[in-house]
Structure 1
Amino acid sequence: MTQLTGKSTVKVDGSELLTDLDTTINVGGVSREAVVGPNGVQGHRETPEAPTVSTTVRHTRDTDLIALGRIKNASVITRTDTGDSYLLRKAFVTDTVEMSGGNIRLNWSGMGLERL
């Protein structure tokens, strides 16, 4: 029987983060939007989209919130329990870092996403 992905790990420059099960990968590329006129859809407009990775990190005594917010030009590797891996190149944290209830939501974007 085929194994389905149920969890993944996230490493930043080789250091594994203590993450929740909620990692999200957006491969980026092109998003399309319908262009509508008085008689209906006339076509579509394309917009380039950057790849992104989002996850929740658990706070521990060793977690440096300020250092997490300063991440840039990093290699972010997401590896699933089915053996699939993705590399977000030249990644940077996109939002300010906020901790709530011992959880930190990190959102990255980068210069490209590759399947390893």
Structure 2
Amino acid sequence: MAKVTGKAYISLDGTKLHSKPDGELSVGGDIKKAQTSVHGLVGHSVEEIQPGKITCTLVHTANIDVVALKNWEGNAVFETDTGLRYMVRDAAIEDDITLKGAEVPVTITGRPAVLI
């Protein structure tokens, strides 16, 4: 029977973060659109290239400097509990960082994700 993903772990440059289990990965890359003629499907054209994106909510601890987090740049990994690991290279924190109680929502963007 196949393993089913239940949660994911987020790492920045090899350091695992205390993230909530609802992390998401948007693979990014070529966004294609079907091109048709009177005969039907001709093929697909690339309309745009989107970045890879990891969104998650961190549990804030004394070890997380939100200013340093906002300025972080490097490689991010989205690792599933089924063993698959996806890297978003040349990544950075997108938008502003907001610390609300014990939670810090984070969006990380970079090159399209690749399986490692």
Please give the range of the TM-score, normalised by the shorter of the 2 chains.
0.7 to 0.9
- Cα distance in 1, alignment partners of residues 2 and 46 from structure 2: 38
The 5-angstrom pairing of residues 76-91 of structure 1 reads 76-91=76-91
The 5-angstrom pairing of residues 1-116 of structure 1 reads 1-32=1-32, 46-72=47-73, 74-116=74-116
SS in structure 1 opposite 2:67? helix
- Where do 5+ consecutive residues of structure 2 fail to align? 35-44
Q: How far is the alpha carbon of 1:45 from its aligned partner?
A: 7.8
SS in structure 1 opposite 2:72? coil
SS in structure 1 opposite 2:4? coil
State percent identity of aligned pairs. Answer: 27
Equivalent AA in structure 1 for residue 112 of structure 2: G
Q: How far is the alpha carbon of 1:101 from its aligned partner?
A: 2.5
TM-score by length of 2: 0.83
- Where do 5+ consecutive residues of structure 1 fail to align? 35-43
Counterpart contact for 2:20–2:57, Cα < 8 Å: yes
- Cα distance in 2, alignment partners of residues 32 and 14 from structure 1: 32
Equivalent AA in structure 2 for residue 29 of structure 1: G
- Cα distance in 2, alignment partners of residues 32 and 101 from structure 1: 40
SS in structure 2 opposite 1:68? helix
Q: How far is the alpha carbon of 1:33 from its aligned partner?
A: 6.6
Equivalent AA in structure 1 for residue 94 of structure 2: T
1:14-59 Cα offsets, whole Å, 9 max, x none, are 111000011111111233579xxxxxxxxx8812211111111100
Equivalent AA in structure 1 for residue 95 of structure 2: D
